[in-house]
Structure 1
Amino acid sequence: MVRPFKLHKLLAIKEKEKEKALREYHEATKRFEEIGEKLYHLLKQKEEYEDTYKQKMRIGLSIQEIRHFRQFVTNLERTISHYQQLVAQAREQMLLKQAKLSEVTIEVKKYEKMKEKHDQAVHEVLQAAENRWMDEVSIQQFIHHKNWVRG
């Protein structure tokens, strides 16, 4: 009797780890994209606001409007700075999750290769047994046919 692949449970565990790592990577990627989009919108808002301010400066602005603009831009820059830090953190998390996914994927491939080699060896053993059996049947038929012809 041929033994089953003895590491099948470990392979199943590694495949589950890979699935989990893939989910975590996708979540980290999604979070990075969401934060990046928010940062993009903030930067675009700042640019549009500065363009509007420049246009109004040509016409003339009151001191109160200039102060209001500076306050708004200062707050916006703080928010942008915060989101830049969040983007950097999200990128770092995404890269960590990507590295973990790569590591687990390599492990799974190793076990899959081992299983493939095991399956090939099993196939070869079964093929050899079948060939021996066919040889035995052929010999028996030959002997039976030889005895039947003499008889």
Structure 2
Amino acid sequence: MQYQFKFNKILKIKEREKEQVFDVYNQAVKRFEETAKKLYDLLKKKEDLEEYQQSRLAEGLPVQEIRHHQHFVHSLEKTIDHYLKMVANARNQMNFQKEKLMEKNIEVKKYEKMQEKDLAVFLESMKQAEGRQMDDISIQLYMNRGN
């Protein structure tokens, strides 16, 4: 007799769902990392620009150039604010996908645990059936010797 888990198809479906959710989670992590890197680059750019402006102010620079720098920094700050929101959204999406992945993982683990228990019961019943067969064979051998 061959072992067949009665919920094998469901287990396979749950594993496929888990793999799909894992792929979506990886995409969310990648989006978060890309957005966070872009934010970091913008912050670094702003910092470098402010350092450059401070060094230029020490040397003395025209008012028009100061206005130009202020306008550029203001525009950069708007972009940074936009990316801060994008990073927060990407982080929330990543955390949401992580939760979904954990739920799917738990579902799969439940079915795997059921399979383990079912297999243990099957093996025990096979062992008992084998023991009964051995007893029957022993009884028949004993009976045949007596005749």
- The answer to whether the aligner puts 1:62 opposite 2:62 as a matched pair is yes
How big is the shift at 1:135? 1.2
- Asked whether the equivalents of residues 2 and 122 of structure 1 are also in contact (C-alpha less than 8 Å), the reply is no
**Native 8 Å contact 2:3 2:119 kept in 1:** no
Greater CA deviation, 133-142 or 75-84? 133-142
The number of aligned residues is 147
User: 2:32 is aligned with what amino acid?
Assistant: F
The CA deviation at 1:39 is: 0.4
Structure 2 residue aligned with 1:76: 76
Deviations 1:51-88 (A, max 9, x none): 01000000001011001100110111011011000000
Taking structure 1 as the reference length, the TM-score comes to: 0.92
Structure 1 gaps of 5+ residues are: none
- Correspondence for 1:47: 47
Map Cα deviations across residues 25-73 of structure 1 (whole Å, 9 max, x no partner).
Answer: 1110111011001100110010011001000000001011001100110
Q: Which residue of 1 aligns with 2:127?
A: 127
Match of 2:61, SS? coil
Give the deviation of 1:3 after TM superposition. Answer: 7.4
Aligned to 1:28: 28
- Cα separation, 1, equivalents of 2:146 and 2:53: 109
| 3-state DSSP of counterpart to 1:99 | helix
For 1:107, the equivalent position in structure 2 comes to: 107
Q: Percent identity, please.
A: 49
Stretches of 4+ aligned residues off by more than 6 angstroms: none
Aligned counterparts of 1:134 and 1:21: Cα–Cα separation in 2: 50
Give structure 2 stretches of 5+ with no counterpart: none
1:11 aligns with 2:11: yes
- The one-letter code of the counterpart of 1:45 is K
- Describe the SS at the equivalent of 2:83: helix
Structure 1 letter corresponding to 2:65: E
